[in-house]
Amino acid sequence: MSTSKPIWQQLAKTKVYFGAGSAKRLPELLGSRKTLLVTTRGTVTRGTIDALFEGGNTGRLELFDQVKPNPSLDDFEGGALELRDGDYECIVAVGGGSVIDTAKCFSVLLYSVNSLSDLIDDSDLMLSTKTIPVIAVPTTSGSGSEVTPFATVWDYAQKKKLSLAADSILPESAIVDPALTLSLPLRETLSSGLDAISHAFESVWNMNATPATTAIATHALKLGLSSIAEVATRPDDLDIRSAMSKASLVGGIAISHTRTAFAHSASYPLTIHFGVDHGFACSIFLPAILKFNSVGDDGRLSKLANDLGHRDLPALRRYLDELLSALNLQKFLSSFDLSPNRLSALEGEMITPLRADNNMRKIKPDDVKTIVFDTSEMLQRLQIR
Ligand SMILES: [Fe+2]
């Protein structure tokens, strides 16, 4: 790692409240502010919102419960148009990454006269745009969006994944209450958990990594890798849910500094063309990228393998293969056509600027072919193809 970079940068200015029962703080954090609560219809139906405000004052609270998975430019702008006259002083997001990212986009769009595309393209415009404070209450353990200054925006017309990025959309507070994840179905539990694990790996094998971010990401990996198989068999175990929530939070802090890298870059066409769950789409590339990055390792990956309890990098790669196999991903991925031909056809779209170039080893088009080939082989072994 280069010594010309700062060894530390203030990573998260978000006030984080963590622990089972911490969600009870929400009414107190809102105070008397006029608040827009952003969530999904399902979260409301399951009673999560009522439980959060049990006995608390909901007098200045208005509800937007129309968040869709992987929301688009049109979803954000259409929603904001309906809400523009609300004069909100705070936005609360209760849900997964898509909900928190929607709240972040609303926090900008409810004030701004500019389009979301313009704000994404022009960082100076974002700097001069006022935002509404966001309080994030994640109900999944994976996106880390509660502590990142990014919001994912899907452009289905252009078949592109975009990112709104600015310190001003970093949430004011995050309440990470693992008890809220107890009712998360297995598919979302595993997909979001693998997203958190992907964030942590991508933060380590990243051009922007520093000793501090690597230490944080390694901590996230220790928590996530030791818990994800267990959470599948014991979803009601609050200690395991807590470990997953912490892995997600800590992984989010790591990528808020480094951003993600090639696994995310390669995953986007799988999500935009086929609808593959984000965490699954990222994680299937991890073993092949680990192998690719092992060539010319500057020592950080060998250290990571040792820190995670493995003798060397090949042992860590075998472990990753076995973990993905133990999670029975074929159950969730068999409905998608991830055949070698289909994956190869997407190679040209897998290099996303500002993500692929973060990888510690430069990735050329031929390298994408190799990574896709190795990934296809693994998918065949896992009987996903
Ligand atoms: Fe992610």
Per-residue pLDDT of the chain (385 residues; tens, 9 = 90+): 455 666 666 655 899 999 999 999 999 999 999 999 999 999 999 999 999 988 776 678 999 999 999 999 999 999 999 999 999 999 999 999 999 999 999 999 998 888 999 999 988 888 888 999 999 999 999 999 999 999 999 999 999 999 999 999 999 999 999 999 999 999 999 999 999 999 999 999 999 999 999 999 999 999 999 999 999 999 999 999 999 999 999 999 999 999 999 999 999 999 999 999 999 999 999 999 999 999 989 999 999 999 999 999 999 999 999 999 999 999 999 999 999 999 999 999 999 888 889 999 999 999 999 999 999 999 998 887 6
Q: What is the DSSP string of 118-162?
A: HHHH-HHHHHT-----EEEEESSSS--GGG-SEEEEEETTTTEEE
Distance, CA of 172 to CA of 105 (rounded, Å): 14
**What is the 8-class DSSP label of residue 170?**
S
Instruction: Judge contact between 288 and 265, C-beta under 8 A.
Output: no
Note the pLDDT of residue 382. Answer: 85
User: Which helix H or strand E contains 176, and what residues bound it?
Assistant: strand 173-176
Ligand 1: centre distance to CA 142 (Å) = 7
Closest CA to 73 of 130, 156, 146, 150: 156
Ligand 1: centre distance to CA 65 (Å) = 23
Q: Are strands 134-138 and 90-95 parallel, antiparallel or unpaired?
A: parallel
CA–chain centroid gap for 212, Å, is 20
Ligand 1: centre distance to CA 30 (Å) = 28
CA–chain centroid gap for 359, Å, is 17
Q: What is the DSSP string of 271-287?
A: HHHH---HHHHHHTTHH
Ion ligand 1 nearby residues (CB, 5 A): 195
Ligand 1: centre distance to CA 310 (Å) = 25
**What is the 8-class DSSP label of residue 53?**
T
Note the pLDDT of residue 383. Answer: 80
- Calculate the alpha carbon distances from 75 to 3, 41, 51, 140, 233 in Å: 43, 15, 27, 21, 36
Distance, CA of 35 to CA of 103 (rounded, Å): 11
